[in-house]
Amino acid sequence: MGRLQDKVALVTGASGGIGAATVRALHREGARVVAADVTTGAGEKLAAELGCTFSKLDVTSEQDWKHVVADIVAQHGSLDVLVNAAGIEGDVVHGTPESTSLAEWRRVMSVNLDGTFLGCREALPVMKRRGAGSIINISSTVAYIATPNSTAYGASKAGVMQLTKSVALHGSLEGHRVRCNSVHPGIIATRMIESISAQLAQFNNVAVDDVARASMSRIPFGEAGRPEDVAELILFLASDESRYITGSEFSIDGGWRLMGRPKPANK
């Protein structure tokens, strides 16, 4: 018997590094996983490999959310775990409070914050009918610090942290045990981190390897985390092992946040 035996789980952003690793971890522990992403391809291939269901889901679409959750309930009868892992970084070097366009602000917010809100909203009534469930929202270590060059991204991830607490309290009322917690990755070896490193390298006119070395120098553990590291934390929060944990945030960053933030470059 796995730690999530026969639980039904929905993972968004299943094509991404953390999303894909989470799909694998939950499936390994016996969950009936629905892997969801806005594009077919990697997520669909992963689902086929594992024998899971794949659902095309644009997390910014209210109708997509309603359709996917209704399909899950029709097919499986319940939804026990939701992992909101879909996210985008936006402009991380020119996205200052002065230079960020309203269109860019809305684009980042629509995926990172609106998408997480819609997922929570659609999952809550299904989970409340069963009296229990676990929602795990992926925030970021930057939710705790200023992000003057990536204003929209930082604000969206801080919003996810606060939203998580509101969902957690709401889900615990009237005798329900719908838990909600946020996971805050630091520098994890994913496509998003590769994209951020490339943006920073171009902005500073240096090699990508130089950016990577500078980043590693600020992590006490001295290396980037793996998507699997984050997935194992998500697995714990999805399982009954964390049955008494809700409304909490979990940093997974190799100690990066302990080092503080360097003074931003003026360019």
The arithmetic mean of pLDDT across residues 35-63, rounded, is 96
The number of domains in the chain is 1
Kindly compute the dihedral angle of the four CA atoms of residues 23, 153, 110, 130, in this order, to the nearest 10 degrees. Answer: 40
d(CA 260, CA 121): 34
- Assess if residue 214 is contained within a domain: no
- Assess if residue 208 is contained within a domain: no
The two tokens of residue 193 are 């981190």
3-state SS, residue 149: coil
- Assess if residue 266 is contained within a domain: no
- Assess if residue 84 is contained within a domain: yes
In which domain, by residue range, is 82 found?
Answer: 8-188+227-253
- Assess if residue 68 is contained within a domain: yes
Q: Which residues of 57-83 are buried (b: 16+ CB within 10 A; e: fewer)?
A: bbbbbeebbeebbeebeeebebbbbbb
Q: Which residues are catalytic?
A: 153
- Assess if residue 174 is contained within a domain: yes
With bands split at pLDDT 50, 70 and 90, how would you rate the model's confidence at 249? very high
- Assess if residue 221 is contained within a domain: no
Helix (H) or strand (E) holding 35: strand 32-37
The two tokens of residue 184 are 């805050």
Q: In this model, does residue 203 exceed pLDDT 80?
A: no
With bands split at pLDDT 50, 70 and 90, how would you rate the model's confidence at 267? very low
3-state SS, residue 83: strand
* Alpha-carbon torsion (77, 113, 21, 195), positive or negative: positive
What's the pTM value of the predicted model, to 2 decimals? 0.92
Res 215: pLDDT: 81
CATH number, domain of 97, equals: 3.40.50.720
192 or 106, which is more confident? 106
- Assess if residue 96 is contained within a domain: yes
Query: What pLDDT, in 10s, does the model give residues 81-109?
Result: 999 999 998 888 889 999 999 999 999 99
209 or 247, which is more confident? 247
Query: What pLDDT, in 10s, does the model give residues 108-167?
Result: 999 999 999 999 999 999 999 999 999 999 999 999 999 998 999 999 999 999 999 999
Helices vs. strands in the chain: H and E counts, helices first: 9, 7
